[in-house]
A and B are shown apart, each in its own frame.
Chain A
């Protein structure tokens, strides 16, 4: 009896924690929604505002990296469902590497932009917004990489299988969110270039 109820207790707590993550995602989305509307309001304030450039091609590489990483994290999660440890580790590792590739590619994009004379500190704040969007997203990517690393160590250490499964489940949701968030930002910027 006690064992059973403890189980329901746990399932319920997990359900609630997963729900917490979804709510957190809503909060993060609101932050970027605010930046988007800030961008629109600012850019509409004068004809001299706006990006005044095309987006660097390196963004395409970033997009590829993060979309593929979304697939690999899903594969890791599927492997976790089948309790296939080596596959989980492999796909988690690939996801992390792709995450780092994304990170590097974004930083490189900043270099490309500043070579074109588009700097963060600028009297056309639309251009500063470009750095804010990507920078804030990268801050989330760092958090995502930590979550992935935690899931990876969950698989490789001997914590209970259920716990490690739960970690991958949450990491999976979060990483997909980061992917979708980037696509949103990219499309938003493309529409405004």
Chain B
């Protein structure tokens, strides 16, 4: 019976698990999934703060395009000569802000943290399938971060071709200053990042498929695991395509090939490259780039499913529908990339095909939105900070998702393409929603990570500043976009039709600054609670999933004795007839005779018979 259960009895465990660990092996070169999760999280938070500061810098330029801020020159030197950010540097700020937020914070910081933390915990495994690969995954990620940040300290400045690095700007080193060494460092950094993601993703998939504890069949997995699993599959199938795109780009940059380049004159000089096609890059890039936005949002959806169900004290509404819609999003994510390229001269028929596939994604997304609302409906809601952020995600996912219907329409996109409407759309549906999902996860699983609680009052302050701030920043952008204001433009005062929007930019920038300051509440709360937070109990949220059956103190191998077997799905909250309003997955049906339902036994006649006998006796 216990053939699939790994048992580590206590004596054996002591001889093998508690060997003396040095500082280096415990905190730095750790192969323990819990420590690697914390490494990913803290690195992700640092990168998020960095990228946020970059955004505030370019927001200052957008709000006060003609004003001088001598302080900027003190910090940025020649990039802000005379106290005004230079145009080239403005583009670098936008580029690196996007790159760091999309890849380093919302991909590695989000998936890396919660896959590492929750996969072994929630499926009942001692660790990842390959702890070594897991460690290497973090180290590649860290190197990627360091290289990216280092590009700010070189003479020609960081990459500035946008996070999508479209050629020719990214492929011709002489085109603008950021296209030189800065772009090379960007590519080096991204190579390390892809290595990290592929190693991590392979490990996550393999762990989920091979290392589940007894009784944990696929349909008993929490939605977090489903989301992380499908995210890893999307990553595994799409990141290698970016490798191909980048390899060709590197050859164009450094070896003189013409995959993407043709008919170019740079600074009065005709380039020798002929016959290449920049559209080719866009196809390859968006074949990764679009799945990438689901890599960003799906883990957030998984985390909030868990948090919303736990804190509504209700089973998640439509568990199977939630899984199938995640699968639907996974499949569809690979056949919609063309909607980023409607205005590249694409054949209108092909555009129509991409439009249809794109609009179909609204179906699984809407299923998820409705299921969240139905779970909340008449729930016994506990408004913990994690729950607030989870509800915030639902709000952003809906308000940002709706504008996706406009952009997915090929004809409307001709007007809206590359305007602030797009910026508003993806910052709500993908940026804010995922950041909220990530923060929701941090508040909810903090007790599991650090054994202490975060301060709830600071959590609420953080939530309201961020939530209102995000809407104040991104909502007005819709109107700018409809008016045709293009994104990434440096000075609004240079174009008469944009001048009237400067006053809106001032509002947006102030909202961004206040929301940015609001993050200090989080940073202080996060770091001080590690040492001074209230001590956590084993299961502070009265949750059903397996991670809350492990001791508060982290131990090697997670469970001191045998790994518990799983008997039921993770969403038995407020089950009629049960003694408590939650029944952990480890509780067998034999211990909950008063609350068992006929469908719990999945057609096991013997169990049904025993239950009926019990019912007859106890009525």
Contacts and interface: CB of A to CB of B under 8 A. Distances in A.
Contacts of A33: 241
B258 A128 contact: yes
B6 interface: yes
Interface extent on A, as a size class? 35 or more
Interface in B144-198: 198
A1 interface: yes
Interface stretch (B49-57, B105-113, B203-211, B411-419): B203-211
7 contacts: A13-B130, A23-B201, A30-B240, A121-B257, A123-B275, A124-B275, A125-B258
A122 B257 contact: yes
A16 B210 contact: yes
A121 B240 contact: no
B9 A1 contact: yes
Give the one of A16, A45, A46 with max B CB within 10 A.
A16
B220 interface: no
Contacts of A128: 251, 257-259
A20 to B, nearest CB: 5
Contacts of B255: 120-121
A20 B207 CA distance: 9
A12 B203 CA distance: 14
Nearest to B287: A34
Chain A binding surface SS class? helix
A16 B6 contact: no
Given A5-B8, A20-B206, A26-B236, A42 B280 contact: yes
Nearest to B255: A121
A37 B184 CA distance: 25
Contact of B274 (A30, A31, A123): A123
A191 interface: no
Q: Sorted from nearest, which 9 A-B pairs have the closest CB atoms?
A: A16-B129, A123-B274, A31-B240, A34-B241, A34-B244, A30-B240, A16-B210, A23-B202, A121-B256
Contact of B241 (A19, A24, A30): A30
Given A16-B130, A23-B205, A121-B257, 9 more contacts: A16-B211, A17-B129, A20-B202, A31-B240, A34-B240, A38-B245, A38-B280, A125-B257, A129-B259
B425 to A, nearest CB: 27
Interface of B: 3-4, 6-9, 12, 129-130, 133, 198, 201-203, 205-207, 209-211, 236-241, 243-245, 247-248, 251, 255-259, 273-277, 280, 283-284, 287
B9 A13 contact: no
B130 A20 contact: yes
Contacts of B133: 20
Contacts of A42: 259, 277, 280
A136 B247 contact: yes
Nearest to A24: B202
B131 to A, nearest CB: 9
Interface in A100-144: 120-125, 128-129, 132, 136
